[in-house]
Amino acid sequence: MASQYPKNVVTKKGLALISECIATNKQLVFTKVIVGDGDLPPNQDVSTMLNAISPKMELPITKAQNEGNGQFLVRATISNSKLDIGFFPKEVALFAKAEGGTEILYAYTNGGDKVGFVPDKSIPIESEIYNVRTIIGAVTNVKAEIKDETFVTVLDLREAFTDDTSSTDDADIESNSLLASLGARVSYVKKYVKKAISDAFKSDDFDDNVIRAIGKKTFEGLGVQARFSNANSWFICFGPLFFGLIIQGGTTPRPENNAAIANFGITFGNTDYIVIPVGVIDANDSKWSLTVNVLKDYKSANSCMFRTSDSIAPACYYLAAGRSNI
């Protein structure tokens, strides 16, 4: 059955801690949540308790939120993934301290026979969320210690992504983000991305921004390279994901001694590439039947020589395809 707990009671030491934090302007720090299987003795004055009766587990705190009107929420999560012996989590004990001070039992509740059983790790269960709401009075400087290894619950994420996102100020995000202490920076990422997308859609050159972002963040990461700034020697290398395919092209200088050389913009991995040259002549050229062929014995990874039918013509356009070293 689902566990049910009465409203927690702030201990006398907890009330004294509230007064201390108000008087000294120290930060009130919630440090941990302990669950146990102890039975509350008859006529026990909870306000005088110093610890859980029979502590069994410390629960990771996943969220801390000042709900206003002197109320504060500490969210903790119970999981049996490392639990060797099952138990009934009757007790829920919230601990706190003043900044730099000693930890004390701040608030306590006991569900008695109205709590469900938590089996050992041999019977996996879904994690259960404990929303511990307590009184902080007039204290305004409050936080909870959230350890670096603490996981983020689905509920935390859902709430983070439904928070108001009107503010995108970094300082505001750092001080007020519900998940900043987790290191996940979910709220920050959400706000940043939302603003970036909004700004991009408002931009007149949205398409260019998208292509530029893809080129920098995606293609480069896949090893894709390209250069089209030089019309006489351009290339695109598609990277390892596309088997190192290179496609490049350009023009040769005017031939000398029946030979024109194409100097590639990027080096092939070997000489197995295919190159297709096309002779280029002027409209007033008197020789209309000028031809060009590949000199296969003069192919290298970074250049190729073409044989031309005339000693000084024609120059060549070429297209080459092959593979890089991958």
* pLDDT for residue 165: 46
Across residues 179-203, what is the average pLDDT?
Answer: 58
Which string of DSSP letters, residue by residue, matches 256-305?
Answer: BTTEEEEEPSS--SSS--EEEEEEE--TT-S-TT--EEEEEEEE-SSEEE
Query: Of 280, 324, 316, 281, which is closest to residue 295 (Cα–Cα)?
Result: 316
Contact (CB, 8 A) for 103 and 31: yes
Give the lowest-confidence range in 132-146, 150-164, 202-216.
150-164
Q: How far is the C-alpha of 161 from the C-alpha of 173, rounded, in Å?
A: 14
Nearest-10 crossing angle of helices 186-202, 206-214:
130
* pLDDT for residue 79: 87
* pLDDT for residue 183: 46
* pLDDT for residue 189: 58
Q: Quick one: what percent of the chain has pLDDT higher than 70?
A: 76
Across residues 275-288, what is the average pLDDT?
Answer: 81
Q: How far is the C-alpha of 236 from the C-alpha of 154, rounded, in Å?
A: 43
* pLDDT for residue 216: 56
Q: How far is the C-alpha of 91 from the C-alpha of 5, rounded, in Å?
A: 9
Its sign, for the CA torsion 182, 187, 193, 199, is: negative
Return the DSSP state at 313.
Answer: B
Across residues 133-160, what is the average pLDDT?
Answer: 73
* pLDDT for residue 267: 93
E strand or H helix that includes residue 92: strand 91-98
Across residues 232-254, what is the average pLDDT?
Answer: 90
Q: How far is the C-alpha of 153 from the C-alpha of 179, rounded, in Å?
A: 11
Spatial neighbors of 62 by CB under 8 A, at least 6 apart, are 75, 76, 77, 146, 150, 151, 152, 153, 156, 182
Q: How far is the C-alpha of 313 from the C-alpha of 326, rounded, in Å?
A: 37
CA angle 86, 92, 95 (to 5 degrees): 125
Q: How far is the C-alpha of 29 from the C-alpha of 20, rounded, in Å?
A: 12
* pLDDT for residue 184: 45
Contact (CB, 8 A) for 151 and 60: yes
Return the DSSP state at 311.
Answer: T
Strands ordered across the beta sheet of 274-280 = 225-227, 233-237, 245-251, 315-323, 274-280
* pLDDT for residue 286: 73
* pLDDT for residue 146: 82
pLDDT at 220 over 70: no
* pLDDT for residue 174: 46
Beta bridge partners of 256: 259
CA angle 172, 177, 178 (to 5 degrees): 155
CA angle 109, 44, 114 (to 5 degrees): 40
Instruction: Using the structure block, give the residue that is written with the tokens 């440090």.
Output: 31
Q: Which two tokens stand for residue 132?
A: 């511990």
* pLDDT for residue 173: 42
Instruction: Using the structure block, give the residue that is written with the tokens 């959400």.
Output: 190
Query: Of 326, 324, 222, 220, which is closest to residue 264 (Cα–Cα)?
Result: 324
Domains of the chain, first to last? 9-146 (no CATH), 152-202 (no CATH), 225-323 (2.60.40.3940)
